[in-house]
Structure 1
C-alpha cells in the first residue's frame, strides 16, 4: 500500500468513535415533518400506519461524477468503522465497501449509500474491460492536513474520494497503482430481507443500529413508539453513523420503528420488537423497495 498513513487513520477511527457512546441528551418534541409523516397516529394508538410516500418515485441511479480511489487494509469487523456497522459481511454488505472523504461522509449522513464505480482514463492500471463494482459507504476516510490534497491528502476537503476496501479496489485496478481516477454514481441499494434494528444500551439510554436498508440506503431520520406507556412517536437522534439514540424508556414496550430515507420515502415497521425484548437483540422490519 502506497499510502500507509491514510490507511492507518481510517482503520483507527473505529476505536475513536466508541468514545462517543455516552448517555446524554433528553429529546423533546418531534419536528413538523415527522408529525406530518406519522399522521399523529390518528388517535394515538391506531395500527393504521400508512407510509406517506406512495406518490414518490422509487430511488434510481444518479448522474456520473469524477473522483479518485485508493484502498486500505482491514477486515469485516473494521470496514464498517465510522458508520457503526459491526461486521460488514454478517450484516450483508460484503467486502465491497468504501470509506468516503469528509465532504461525502457528511458526519455520517451518507452511511449506507450505494455506488457504482468504474476505473477510467488509466490504461496502465485499470483492469481490462473497465469492469464496474457496486460498493456501500460504510466508513470515513478522514483528512490528512499534513499532506497536500493532490499528494497524499486524498480525503482532504473539498475532494470527493473513495478509499476502497482492498478486495473491492483490486476488482477494478492494479495494486501497484495505489490511486486511480474513477467515475462513480449513486445507485439503489438491493437488499435481502427487511431493515434490521439492533438495540443496545441500558434502560436509560437506548442505541439502535439501523442496517440492511434498501432503496436510497441512507437513513436521515428514525422514530420509535411503544404500545403501553410510550404511545406517541419519539424522534431519535443520530449518535454516530447509523446508530440512533433515545433516552425514552423503551424496556417492556412492543416497539414500532419509522425510518425516513434520504429520498424522502418512509418505511414503518409495526410492532416488530416484542415487549420482552432484550438489549443486544436484532429485529427485522419492513424494507424499502
Structure 2
C-alpha cells in the first residue's frame, strides 16, 4: 500500500521493530500469557483490530491479542513489555508486543504470536521450554510506541466503495495513546460529523462528504482526552486500499 499526501512520500514498509522507551517508574501488573498457532510464527492478518497484513508483521511479528486490555477496540495498537516470571528460563527484559487482535486464553491477558512468546525465553532452549508450558505467569506494563519517521496514517479499507461508503483504519499511533473517536468535517454544514467505530480501529461512514476529507481523532493518553486534527486531508477522489499521511504524530 502507498502513502499519499499533497506530495507522494513513498511506500509504506510494514515490517519494523518498535523502539520502546522503558519507564522504570511504572509498576508491572501480574497476569498470564499463552500463544496461538501460526505456520510462520507471525501474527494473523485476520485480527479483530482490522490491521490486515500490517497486523501480521508489525514489530517484526511480535504481536498479541488481548482480552481485558481490549477496551472495545481502542486498545488496538498499544505497546506492552511482557516478561515471564520463571527465573530459570525467562529473560529479564521479556518481549515487547503490539496489540493487533482480541484473544482469550486460560485466564490470560495476552495471547501472543509464537515469535513474541519465544522472545520471553533467555535462550533458544529456554524458549522451547516455555512452549511446553503453554501458559506462563507474566508481568506486564504499557510502554510508549515509537515509529521513527512515520506519522499517523489513515488507510482506506478495501471494503470501502467510492463515493458512497468509506472505512478508515488508523495506523502508527505513537506514545501511550488510544484513539477513542474519529470525526470528519462536514463543510456544507460547517460542523464535525462522527464516524462509527465499525470494529477495532476501523471507523466508517455512509455518504461521506464529496470534498476532501478533513479528519480529526480523539486521543486518550497521559495528557488526558483531547482532539488532534490531521494537517493533510484525504483527497476527494480517494481510493480503497490506499493510505494517506496525516502529517501529525503523537508523543
TM superposition score normalised by structure 2? 0.74
Counterpart of 1:162 in structure 2 is 110
Aligned residue among 163, 166, 191 for 2:147: 191
Shift of the 177–139 alpha-carbon distance from structure 1 to 2, 3 Å rule, reads same
Shift of the 114–77 alpha-carbon distance from structure 1 to 2, 3 Å rule, reads closer
Counterpart of 1:277 in structure 2 is 238
In structure 1, the residue corresponding to 2:141 is in which secondary structure?
strand
- Counterparts of 1:128-139 in structure 2, within 5 Å, are 130-139=92-101
Shift of the 265–73 alpha-carbon distance from structure 1 to 2, 3 Å rule, reads farther
Instruction: Measure the CA separation in 1 of the matches of 2:140 and 2:184.
Output: 35
In structure 1, the residue corresponding to 2:231 is in which secondary structure?
strand
In structure 2, the residue corresponding to 1:94 is in which secondary structure?
helix
Q: Which deviates further from its counterpart, 237-246 or 130-139?
A: 130-139
Alignment pair present for 1:105 and 2:70? yes
Contact 1:98/1:135 (8 A) holds in 2? yes
Aligned residue among 24, 30, 36 for 1:72: 36
Instruction: Measure the CA separation in 1 of the matches of 2:78 and 2:205.
Output: 24
Residue 119 of structure 1 and its aligned partner are, at CA, apart by 1.4
In structure 2, the residue corresponding to 1:221 is in which secondary structure?
strand
Contact 1:77/1:86 (8 A) holds in 2? no
Counterpart of 2:169 in structure 1 is 209
Instruction: Measure the CA separation in 1 of the matches of 2:151 and 2:49.
Output: 19
Pick the structure with more helix per residue: 1
Instruction: Measure the CA separation in 2 of the matches of 1:104 and 1:238.
Output: 17
Shift of the 230–210 alpha-carbon distance from structure 1 to 2, 3 Å rule, reads farther
Q: Structure 2, unaligned stretches of length 5 or more?
A: 1-22, 122-126
Shift of the 177–126 alpha-carbon distance from structure 1 to 2, 3 Å rule, reads farther
Residue 195 of structure 1 and its aligned partner are, at CA, apart by 0.8
- Counterparts of 1:45-124 in structure 2, within 5 Å, are 62-74=26-38, 78=44, 81-88=47-54, 92-101=58-67, 103-120=68-85, 122-124=86-88
Contact 2:232/2:245 (8 A) holds in 1? no
Q: Which deviates further from its counterpart, 203-212 or 266-275?
A: 266-275
Q: Structure 1, unaligned stretches of length 5 or more?
A: 1-59, 143-152
Pick the structure with more strand per residue: 2
In structure 1, the residue corresponding to 2:71 is in which secondary structure?
helix
Residue 237 of structure 1 and its aligned partner are, at CA, apart by 1.4
Instruction: Measure the CA separation in 2 of the matches of 1:179 and 1:132.
Output: 15
TM superposition score normalised by structure 1? 0.65
Contact 1:105/1:140 (8 A) holds in 2? yes
Contact 2:31/2:109 (8 A) holds in 1? yes
How many residues end up aligned between the 2 structures? Answer: 210
Instruction: Measure the CA separation in 2 of the matches of 1:268 and 1:91.
Output: 28
Alignment pair present for 1:288 and 2:246? no
